[in-house]
A and B are shown apart, each in its own frame.
Chain A
Amino acid sequence: MEKLINEFSFGLFFWQLFIFIGLVLLLRKFAWKPILDSLNERETSIKDAMNAAEEAKKEMASIQEDNQKVLKEARAEREALLKEARSSGAEIVAQAKTEAKAEADKIIAQAQESIQNEKRAALNELKNQVAQISLDIAEKVIDSELDSKDKQYKLVNQLIKDASL
């Protein structure tokens, strides 16, 4: 201890105190404060950037989710549309078929009717013509046959015979 006290130099202590306190004050103003401020600023900016990145990631994920949802909806809609189209197509075809069938039936019916009419008209005409021809023939036959009495008689008999059926 005595050696330590003996070794102690007041001058050195004075200079050390003076220089060291000066150094602390100077460095505090010109070095430590700006250094620590910069470090803090950098740390907060890094933290902010990290947070922003995290947020962007989350946002990205939600957007993707939305996209997926929209895509799914679109797909479902397309499916529904296709289904609808398919069913309506079949319906149209079926309707067309029935309509066509009905039309065809109608046409056939009309044709049959007109054929019937034609037939009827033709028959009527034929009947008229046959009657005319029969009359003509009967006239001629009568003309030729009834010039003798006998023959007239025969004929009357014949007619009576036929008529008594």
Chain B
Amino acid sequence: MVIMPRGIHLFFYTIILTSFSNLSAKESKKEVEQTGELKSEIKAYILHHLQDSHDFNLLSYKDKTTNEKVNIGMPLPVILWDDGLKVFSSSKLKHGKNVVSSGDNHYKLYHGKIYRTDAQGTITYDEHHHPTNAMPIDFSITKNVISILFTALLMFVLFRGLAQSYKKNGMIAKGVGRFFEPIVLYVRDEIAIPNIGEKHHRRFMGYLLTLFFFIWFLNLLGLTPLGINVTGNIAITFCLALITFVITTLVGKKYYWKHIFWMPGVPWPMKIILAPIELLGLIIKPFSLMIRLYANISAGHIVLMSLIALIFIFKNWIGSSLSFILAFSISIIEILVALLQAYIFTVLSALYFGFAVEEHDENIDH
């Protein structure tokens, strides 16, 4: 545990641990100002946490003497495509305080995004205060990419171990993988087979199992004090939803497409009305997958962080301990949500695959 110096702002567990020990209770006007400042700081911090980062920050604090923010963590490689590959360490960006020159171009970090600037790092804005500077394509190994890589590696080691333990122990799982065996069985027997059917389920198992454990592990990783928010990032959920959509479209059989473009069993004017609705449904299904996971995880992080932040806004025994109890309960709920969201995403994907590969006897009315 790091010994925290008195009178500085400490960011730990991605929230602000703020100590106003030098503040007198009698100076109530000043306190209100300070609280207002604290609230906006908390808001900025929560929003900052929800976004991806070019550094792997563990904690940061404001040095009282120089009044500068000090970050503790590790820098990550920045990879840009801007008329050629540009690679440099994120430590050069100094959290947006520095202009990095790579080749003939200059780059600056502004609100979590890298912009091309001039040598002085000038950023021009439009009327909505959005930067108008050109943006290189950013392939940086960000905090989220590191988390994804870590999860992928963990999953590979874990499930490779489980697969090998069967061979070694005569069809009986051993070791850590043993814990996951019933879950693998659950995904097969309760998610894949009921939704897709005994006949076709096998070819989707690889995707469904990977999807389930990937989302679950990343959700859980988001609840650790490392301050990771991968599944609450729109690019991640978009990617997962897109894969589900692509698979659904590729495996769709005649019966599936017939149901979309020319619904059987309804009069022809209805068929014409239903076709665009069904076509829209094609997009809405994966879109809802994307938004559901993103919103649930983001909301969970916001609520949890806000509740923890309340402890430092109340700054008294009753309010702070109540906030703590609330934050603790929400954390436990979030552990359930982590599993639940992984389950929902997997079940719905399986359901969509089930629709796509469904086979029906043309003569049977339904």
List A residues at the B interface (Cβ < 8 Å).
4, 7-17, 19-24, 26-28, 30-36, 38-39, 41-42, 45
Q: Is the CB of A14 within 8 A of B139?
A: yes
List B residues at the A interface (Cβ < 8 Å).
51-52, 79, 113, 137-142, 144-145, 148-149, 152, 155-156, 159-160, 162-164, 166-167, 171-172, 181, 184-185, 188, 202, 205-207, 209-210, 214, 233-236, 238-240, 242-243, 294
Known: A11-B139, A16-B235. A28 touches B156 (CB 8 A): no
The CA-CA distance from A45 to B240 in the complex, in Å, is 37
Q: Is the CB of B171 within 8 A of A20?
A: no
By DSSP majority rule, is chain A's interface helix, strand, loop, or mixed?
Answer: helix
Contact of A45 among B144, B167, B171 (CB under 8 A): B171
Q: What is the CB-to-nearest-CB distance from A24 to chain B, in angstroms, rounded to a whole number?
A: 5
The CA-CA distance from A68 to B145 in the complex, in Å, is 75
Query: In the complex, what residue of chain A is closest to B213 when comparing beta carbons?
Result: A27
Query: In the complex, what residue of chain A is closest to B148 when comparing beta carbons?
Result: A19
Q: What is the CB-to-nearest-CB distance from A133 to chain B, in angstroms, rounded to a whole number?
A: 129
Query: In the complex, what residue of chain B is closest to A31 when comparing beta carbons?
Result: B159
Q: Is the CB of B152 within 8 A of A19?
A: yes
Q: Is the CB of A23 within 8 A of B156?
A: yes
The CA-CA distance from A17 to B51 in the complex, in Å, is 18
Q: Is the CB of B188 within 8 A of A36?
A: yes
New contact pairs (10) apart from A35-B163, A42-B171, CB-CB < 8 Å: A11-B137, A14-B139, A15-B141, A16-B235, A20-B148, A22-B152, A27-B155, A27-B159, A30-B159, A35-B181
Q: What is the CB-to-nearest-CB distance from B24 to chain A, in angstroms, rounded to a whole number?
A: 40
Note all chain A residues with C-beta closer than 8 A to B236.
Answer: 12-13, 16
The 9 closest A-B pairs by CB, nearest first: A28-B206, A31-B159, A38-B166, A34-B163, A13-B235, A11-B138, A12-B235, A16-B239, A42-B171
